[in-house]
Amino acid sequence: MKLTELASIEKWEALEKALNKRSGLNACVYDTEGFRITSFTAWANDLCPAIKSTPQGASAICALANQYVTSQSKETGQPVIIECDAGMVKFAIPIFWNNDFLGTVGGCGHRLPDSEVETFLIHKAINRDLEELDTMAASVKTISDEEINEHIKFLQNELSSLLKDCVIDTS
């Protein structure tokens, strides 16, 4: 079973857009392998597209964090909240259908109030000017634990509503 067998790409993208609109976060639906299933992009800050613009940044920072939240949410069946190596928050909730893990939905791209964006690590990963990265890091907004939990509840409610309307033809 795949996510696109439960709902159309358009419905999954609408979920991403709803999270982005309410939170300003990078919002994504990922399959079991940790690959995005839509092409929707609305960046939470100026730094994330710079990181994603190089294979090294995408793999060393984003993919690593995504692999971790995917495996943890699959294993625990619960939302997972972490900080990526760049110092930004990433959260994901698992998507299950009939006890089968199908992927995750979540957000990233803001930082906790007591965290710092790790521009030196980003510089090492993508070989971009450190001062330029520091300037980009200024666009990273803060997010509280309470706000993250509100976004998780929102996603859980939206996901529950989306999946409630799914009927699979097994004949």
Report DSSP letters for 132-167, one per residue. HHHHHHTTPPB--HHHHHHHHHHHHHHHHHHHHT--
Buried (b) or exposed (e) across 100-136, using 16+ Cβ within 10 A? ebbbbbbbbbbbbeeeebbbebbbebbebeeeebeeb
Residue 167 has a pLDDT of 60
Residue 171 has a pLDDT of 41
- Edge-first strand listing for the sheet containing 89-97: 26-30, 100-108, 89-97, 80-83
pLDDT in tens, 54-89: 988 888 899 889 999 999 999 999 999 999 999 999
User: Given a cut of 60, is residue 168 above it in pLDDT?
Assistant: no
pLDDT in tens, 24-55: 999 999 999 888 999 999 999 999 999 999 98
For residues 138 and 132, the answer to whether their CB atoms sit within 8 Å is: no
Question: Tokens at residue 136, please?
Answer: 């980009």
Residue 163 banded pLDDT, cuts 50, 70, 90:
confident
Question: Checking DSSP bridges between strand 80-83 and strand 89-97, what pairing results, if any?
Answer: antiparallel
Dist CA 103 CA 66 (whole Å): 11
For residues 73 and 67, the answer to whether their CB atoms sit within 8 Å is: no
Q: Which residues contact 149 (CB under 8 A, 6 or more apart)?
A: none
Using a pLDDT cut of 90, give the percent of the chain over it: 84
- Which range is least confidently modeled, 13-17, 56-60, 120-124? 56-60
Dist CA 13 CA 19 (whole Å): 10
